[in-house]
Chain A
Amino acid sequence: MAETLLWVLPLVPSVTALAMLTTRRRRILSAIDVSGSAVLLALTLVLAREVAAGGPRSLGVFRVDDLGLVFLLLLVVLTLAVSIYTVGWLKQAVAVGNMKAESLRSYFALVHVFVATMVVTVLADNLGVLWIAMEGTTITSAVLIGYHGHRHGLEAAWKYIIVTTIGISFGLFGTVLVYAAAADVMGGAGSMSWSAIMQVAPKLDPGIVRIGFIFVIVGYGTKAGLAPMHLWLPDAHSQAPTPVSALLSGVLIKCALLGIIRFQTIAAAACGPDFAQNVLLVFGLISVVVATPFILVQRDVKRLLGYHSVEHVGIVALGLGFGGAIGTYGALLHVVNHGITKALAFFAAGTAIARYGSRDMRAIRGLLTVAPIGATLLMLAALSLAGVPPFSIFVSELMVLRAGIGNGHWVAIAIFLVMVVVIFAGLLHHAGAMVFGEPRGANRRAEAWSPLLAMMLLAAIMVLLGLTIPASFDGVLRRATEIVVG
């Protein structure tokens, strides 16, 4: 059963994408969209149950273990939320002419192909397949980023495809080097599968694995938005249609992190854990530091959220870099928390943008008066992103901090704390200005139900994970941590 699901899962979004091509009517397209995502979520839950009962499963080039499951769960939950959100968002976007009614089916089809490539990324055991799927996500999402077809959108899409393709070729080179090291040990043609390489990992030549890991972290790090390779990220996140921004920030950059974690485990086994951790620590610190000034002076709300993703990817890298069970657990939990919260923030920002017809935060004022529920959700998301208890991000950031203190990384901790405090102030200043005050130039129509439903779903998960981590999910995270720490 579980083995069958491994090849059924990538098929679900692919079939959904094909089904989109049969009709042009917006309502039917949205219905296919939501039901396809719901089926994907349901099947993933079945798979999660099987894996919890019977351990990792593999089938050909696919494999699912608890580490992949963490990312897969995040992916399917956000896909469903995005589908629900799209119903209302699209109606409005078509009404104001942001989306052309006649080309909607290609948009929906592309979104689902994009989701399918991400599912393959998460399920890939073969490192070559991982790379191919990762480049597949670049190609599909580049088209989506430029979907509005205006000058800025096309500029962002071009920058995205060029920067991430450069980056990802480094990733392929790193993959080839690790494969060469493995082939040297295994003899014969060798194997590119992660689980097979892990079995011989302690015997791999440390020199070549080190170079390979550097190539991989630069390559997949570009895709993950680690500074200084993050140049594409704020542009892409701000210019993409809002549902796509949520997928990019919530899931795509996390899939790249999963790629890095896979290679980190190989590198840790081959050259000891310190090397990979130090590299991650450096990139994590650079990301947190580089993102801060841009967050403070930002005026475009979606660019603000984009730079904020750079900061949070940096925090995940810091967690992995501090290492140990607590740091790794915190990093994985942060992946989920940030994904959920950032998608919520993009949704809330997207509805506010639609209401005011501007992405400039100076134009968005007094949201609480015109859209009380949306404004509350935006404020909740901002509070959570800033790291206020009792929301989920506070919990995972605290774990990352504890791991750093436990391992005595005082300098890194000091820099991290300063940046987090500065960003906290900056973010709440921006959010407060948008939510409170006198609304001017706002559209006073009633709030649409479907975006609210999607946001409430995410907000519920966000609050729940802040208060308590359900035992079953805790089990998945613990076993995933064991895979990384060994």
Chain B
Amino acid sequence: MSAETVQTIIDDLGALLLFTMILIVAASQISRAIYAVAAQSFLIAIAGAVLATATGNADLWVIAGVTLVVKASLLPWILHWVVRRMNVRREVEPVIPIAATLALAVAVVVMSFHLSASLGSVRQAITGNALPVGIALTLTGVLVMATRKTALSQMVGLFASENGIFFTAMAVTQGMPLIIEIGVILDVILAALVMTIMVLRVRSTVDADIADLDRLKG
């Protein structure tokens, strides 16, 4: 593949990633948000495969495979399992209206492109528009975490945020060292497990949802 083709594909994937992000922000049901974040991880895995073919870097194949197995399949499955297990009837419970969150998300995307347009030569070290897309995904993921009360929506935001970082990291010249990426994914899995255990524990020991815990102040 020529450099331009790769760049075009990465840019197209970036557009699709931003689209899945809109789906996550706009989702009024938690299960839809989980499907959207799974689709997003799937796109990241494709991006990894494309970059692996283009650069001939075998590490990226491994990362694409791990992303597919862990972030596009395993973690969404765990989230769905928790939804069923807890019999979640309360959905995303936004702190501010979803329309307002969407407007903020748009502002974040515009700002990210503006920010990275102001960067000079170093942009060549990162393929295509992976940098602004990555910044936009990361910040929007944080936005989701900050504007949702329920534990599962916050976890979806976290995964989306990590996806943004991975997308940028893959597009940096040759990707990050394999061992580091594996370590990062391992941390994400562990964090997800600990969070899941906490969600279940709050339900079983104090019979409440995480969203109801708001006594600590001042």
Contacts and interface: CB of A to CB of B under 8 A. Distances in A.
Interface of A: 126, 128-129, 131-132, 135-136, 138-139, 142-143, 146, 149-152, 154-159, 161-162, 165-166, 169-170, 172-173, 176-177, 179-181, 183-184, 188-190, 192, 205, 207-208, 211, 234-235, 238-239, 294, 297-298, 303
The 6 closest A-B pairs by CB, nearest first: A128-B180, A184-B125, A155-B213, A205-B122, A132-B183, A135-B187
A129 B183 contact: yes
A181 B122 contact: yes
Interface string B122-142: 101110000100110010011
A176 B176 contact: yes
B183 A188 contact: no
Given A169-B165, A176-B168, A208-B122, A155 B173 contact: no
Contacts of A205: 119-122
A157 B198 contact: yes
A146 B214 CA distance: 15
Given A129-B183, A166-B146, A192 B177 contact: yes
A139 B122 contact: no
Given A176-B172, A180-B125, A205-B122, A211 B115 contact: yes
A139 B187 CA distance: 8
B121 A154 contact: no
A154 B201 contact: yes
Contacts of B131: 180
A169 B125 contact: no
Q: Which of B125, B146, B158, B162 has the most CB of A within 10 A?
A: B125
Contact of B216 (A142, A166, A239): A239
Contacts of B168: 173, 176-177, 180
Interface size band for B: 35 or more
Contact of B174 (A154, A156, A190): A190
A43 B216 CA distance: 41
Given A155-B210, A155-B216, A179-B176, 6 more contacts: A128-B177, A139-B191, A146-B198, A152-B215, A158-B151, A181-B122
Contact of A161 (B146, B173, B198): B198
Nearest to A183: B173
A184 B180 contact: no
A299 B116 CA distance: 47
A149 B205 contact: yes
B110 interface: no
B214 to A, nearest CB: 7
Nearest to A162: B154
A234 B169 CA distance: 34
B184 interface: yes
7 contacts: A136-B187, A139-B191, A150-B206, A154-B213, A162-B145, A181-B125, A205-B119
Given A294-B218, A297-B218, A180 B187 contact: no
Contact of A132 (B158, B172, B180, B218): B180
A144 B109 CA distance: 37
Contact of B161 (A146, A166, A179, A181): A166
